[in-house]
Amino acid sequence: MKSEGPTCAVIGFGRFGRLLARILREEFSVRVCDRQPDHAAAREIGVEVVPLAAACAADALFFCVPISELESAIREARPYVRPGALVMDTCSVKLHPLEVMRRRLPEDVEALGTHPLFGPDSAKDGLCGLRIVFCPLRVSATSLQFWRAFWERRGVRVIEMSPDEHDRRAAYSQGITHFVGRVLGELPLESGEITTKGFEAIRSVIEQTTHDTWQLFHDLQHYNPYTPQMREDLIRAFANVMLKLYPDDPTLKALWRAQRVRRRAEGKRQESEAP
């Protein structure tokens, strides 16, 4: 039975939007909005498909749209969001969405950045033991505790941190996983009689990352300011290993020297930008 609580709207009814709507429906009245809504999925979950204006009249709005589409989605929704409502994004990066919400939402609207560290695949056996990141922007202690308690009732661990710390860490966890998975996915790697458990673990990374959309991968690499350095570090690590194997190879030596030059230039740039 749904408890007394806020009405919720899920804007973006894709794979994650459907998962979130199902989770919210356990306690709250939920409405969903999408340019091409899946009415059959909405009926199965027990949520109502509504126009954008009706969705934005809810107390809590969850934007489940691609990172690169968040700004246009919030800009379109802004005229309909009521004062006192709470807007939450669910993007896998945090600096960009929080800046968008800061610029695009009125000051009388609360805003909370979130990154659920799970999706339809990882949550298929339940939420217990999974995690979600909170990056508060403009949100009351009451609202923050309300949604923290909601996730904790489901066994989800809530981690609170700054958007900068999130993106720095995520570049070397989620960002690097998706990048390596996509690169390895370009190779003809197949399971067979003599494959090892380690190889199968690699295969699982490929399957997990390539199951997500190319748009998600693209946005992860372009909207997290720390992913360029992550990719540079990967290239340098590759060059270091190859040089240990072939220390006299002139091409590898040139690559290694180029990496050193770029790293020094980046270090000087960061020093010049430091307060």
Number of domains into which the chain is organized: 2
Give residue 47's domain range: 8-161
Whether 197 is covered by a domain: the verdict is no
Residue 275, pLDDT score:
57
* pLDDT at site 150: 98
**In-domain check, residue 125:** yes
* Residue 95 is assigned to a structural domain of this protein: yes
Asked if pLDDT for residue 169 goes beyond 90, the answer is yes
Please indicate, yes or no, if residue 211 is contained in any of the structural domains: no
pLDDT of residue 1: 36
* Per-residue pLDDT reduced to its tens digit, 182-197: 999 999 998 888 999 9
Mean pLDDT, range 220-235, rounded to an integer: 95
Amino acid 121: pLDDT: 86
Residue 145 lies in a domain: yes
Q: Which carries the bigger pLDDT value, residue 81 or residue 268?
A: 81
In a domain, 204, yes or no: no
Query: Which residue from 96, 153, 147, 108 is spatially nearest to 128, judged by alpha carbons?
Result: 153
> pLDDT tens for residues 86-135?
999 999 999 999 999 999 999 999 999 999 999 998 899 999 999 999 99
User: Could you give the percent of the chain with pLDDT greater than 90?
Assistant: 84
- What integer pLDDT is reported at residue 36 of this predicted model? 94
In sign, the C-alpha dihedral spanning 168, 174, 180, 182 is negative
Please tell me whether residues 140 and 260 are part of one structural domain. Answer: no
| Amino acid identity for residue 95 in this structure | L
Residues 146 and 24 in one domain: yes
Q: What is the pLDDT of residue 4?
A: 64
> What rounded mean pLDDT belongs to the chain?
94
Can you give the pLDDT at residue 257?
Answer: 87
> Is residue 203 a part of any domain in this protein?
no
Residue 27 in any domain: the answer is yes
Report residue 128 CA to chain centroid gap.
Answer: 19
pLDDT at residue 3 tops 60:
no
258 and 153 within one domain: no
Domain ends where: 161, 194, 209?
Answer: 161
The pLDDT of residue 211: 86
What single DSSP character describes residue 175? I
C-alpha–C-alpha distance, residues 163 and 169, integer Å: 10
H helices then E strands: how many in the chain? 12, 8
The answer to whether the beta carbons of residues 64 and 12 sit under 8 Å apart is yes
Which H/E stretch holds residue 48? strand 48-49
67 or 269: which leads in pLDDT = 67
**CATH assignment at residue 18:** 3.40.50.720
pLDDT, tens digit, for every residue of 170-179? 999 999 999 9
> Do 66 and 156 reside in the same domain of the chain?
yes
pLDDT tens sequence across 124-166: 999 999 999 999 999 999 999 999 999 999 999 999 999 999 9
